[in-house]
Amino acid sequence: MVKTGKRYKEISAAFDVLKTHEIDEAIKLVKNNAKAKFNETIEIAFNLGVDPKQADQNVRGVVNLPEGTGKEVRVAVFARDAKAKEAKDAGADIVGDDDLAETVKSGKLDFDRVISTPDMMAVVGQLGKILGPRGLMPNPKLGTVTDDIETAVKNIKGGSVEYRVEKAGIVHAGIGKADFSEEAIKTNIKAIWDAILASKPSGAKGAYIKGVTLTSTMGTGVKVNPDSVVN
């Protein structure tokens, strides 16, 4: 039998976990119950009416959160010569070509996101078995395979978030920190809401967004009334 932690019980007792809350109330509850000794991440989960096993029902994309993520993101860039300098000048944390590929092969992945210039994809493609399972493989559809390295780096550093539907039809994303204002969190929620809607696949039938849950790293999920997000 799994034991429920004392803190989890205290948080769960603070509100009705089965009740669906309006967005403003949900944000307030999540913030008020984020009492860990560190600045907890605020996360959102969308329960989508899709079957990810079907090729025409995949949901994946990238969204720039207006208020940022509150998280320091380490960016690695595969580039050579002038593009490598462009990456460094834009604030990339790690820049390289074949040497960076060797570092990745050794198992050292000291970064959160990866960008590549198109001409480096022959090298990066050999790292698919390492980067792919970790969701780090550069993708032109997500703006991470590009010659506009400066923009790509700045977008990621400034609050660009990738999202992808999981096997159960759930999309998870971090949309801020517990010390963000309620308005800032709401602004970011609306941004990812719009992005998820825009990513609705052609094969999706019936209700698309079936449920929304908001939580913090150590908190209990708070159900959100989807209609209140857009009003």
Say which amino acid occupies 185. Answer: I
Q: If you average pLDDT over residues 90-105, what whole number do you get?
A: 97
* pLDDT score at 14: 63
Pick from 130, 158, 186: which residue ends a domain?
158
Question: Could you give the CA distance from residue 125 to residue 116 in angstroms, rounded to a whole number?
Answer: 10
* pLDDT score at 69: 92
Domain presence at residue 109 = yes
Range of the domain at 42: 16-69+160-230
Domain presence at residue 11 = no
Q: Identify whether residues 90 and 114 lie together within a single domain.
A: yes
Neighbours of 183 (CB within 10 A): 11
Pick from 138, 158, 178: which residue ends a domain?
158
Question: Could you give the CA distance from residue 63 to residue 11 in angstroms, rounded to a whole number?
Answer: 31
**What is the radius of gyration, based on Cα positions, of the chain?**
19
Q: Which residues pair with 173 in a beta bridge?
A: 44
* pLDDT score at 202: 87
Instruction: Write the pLDDT tens digit of every residue in 14-65.
Output: 666 778 999 999 999 999 999 889 999 999 999 999 998 888 898 999 999 9
> Does the pLDDT of residue 153 top 90, yes or no?
yes
Q: Identify whether residues 105 and 133 lie together within a single domain.
A: yes
- Pick the more confident residue, 109 or 204: 109
Domain containing 62 — which CATH number? 3.30.190.20
Domain presence at residue 170 = yes
Q: If you average pLDDT over residues 184-212, what whole number do you get?
A: 93
Question: Could you give the CA distance from residue 115 to residue 156 in angstroms, rounded to a whole number?
Answer: 10
Residues 6+ positions from 181 with CB-CB distance below 8 Å: none
Q: How many structural domains compose the chain?
A: 2
Domain presence at residue 81 = yes
What is the band of 94 on the pLDDT scale with cuts at 50, 70, 90?
very high
